[in-house]
């Protein structure tokens, strides 16, 4: 173990600024997340994920956001276990009738102001399952959606880009949520 630890120490960070983007986009991306997240939320945006009928591909890519190369938490974005701690509800899947009640309860358990992100094609539009008799369809039919991140599944870079878009628009959305 000592050898691995010492090597890791001297090898330097694995973390990348942002994957699969041009240099220009890369620096822009990192800068934006850091600056805006700090301004709006004091480096703290807590995300609660709920799978509402996903095939598990979106989950794999959300999990990948936490690996050392993407390191989501350096941006102040943190995936949390309880909806009570969450600012953002990140929903994946084609919204099955069987998950409708649990999703609603999770949303209701979150303190306001709160934002909803439809993650992946299924949550955005119902995807290939839009016509299923046991699915409700797009997430928008059940909850007010603040951001859509398309993709099947969206890769970690797309997820990061989407979260930046959300943070950039938070001021306006928070105002609306306050009225509800």
**Which residues make up the interface to another protein (CB under 8 A)?**
1, 3-5, 14, 49-64, 66-69, 79, 81-83, 93-94, 96-103, 105-106, 127-129, 131-135, 152-153, 155
**Burial tier of 47 (Cβ tally within 10 Å: 0-12, 13-18, 19+):** buried
Name the nearest CA neighbour of 156 among 13, 16, 55: 16
Q: Measured from the CB of residue 64, what is the shortest distance to another protein in angstroms?
A: 6
State the angle between helix axes of 23-41 and 156-179 in degrees (0 to 180), rounded to the nearest 10: 30
Nearer to another protein, 69 or 172 (CB): 69
Q: Measured from the CB of residue 7, what is the shortest distance to another protein in angstroms?
A: 9
Nearer to another protein, 36 or 65 (CB): 65
Nearer to another protein, 62 or 164 (CB): 62
Query: What is the CB neighbour count within 10 angstroms for residue 19?
Result: 14
Q: Measured from the CB of residue 106, what is the shortest distance to another protein in angstroms?
A: 5
Q: Measured from the CB of residue 135, what is the shortest distance to another protein in angstroms?
A: 6
Measure the CA–CA gap between 90 and 47, rounded to whole angstroms: 7
């Amino acid at each position: 173990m000592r050898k691995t630890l010492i090597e890791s120490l001297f090898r330097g960070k694995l973390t990348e600024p942002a994957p699969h983007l041009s240099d220009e986009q890369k620096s822009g991306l990192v800068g934006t997340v850091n600056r805006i997240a700090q301004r709006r939320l004091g480096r703290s945006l807590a995300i609660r994920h709920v799978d509402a009928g996903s095939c598990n591909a979106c989950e794999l890519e959300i999990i990948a956001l936490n690996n050392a190369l993407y390191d989501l938490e350096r941006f102040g974005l943190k995936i949390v276990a309880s909806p009570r701690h969450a600012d953002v509800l990140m929903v994946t899947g084609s919204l099955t009738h069987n998950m409708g009640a649990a999703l609603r309860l999770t949303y209701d358990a979150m303190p306001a102001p709160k934002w909803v992100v439809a993650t992946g094609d299924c949550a955005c539009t119902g995807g290939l399952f839009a016509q299923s008799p046991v699915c409700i369809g797009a997430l928008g039919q059940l909850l007010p959606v603040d951001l859509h991140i398309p993709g099947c599944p969206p890769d970690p870079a797309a997820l990061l880009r989407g979260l930046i878009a959300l943070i950039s628009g938070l001021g306006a959305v928070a105002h609306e949520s306050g009225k509800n």
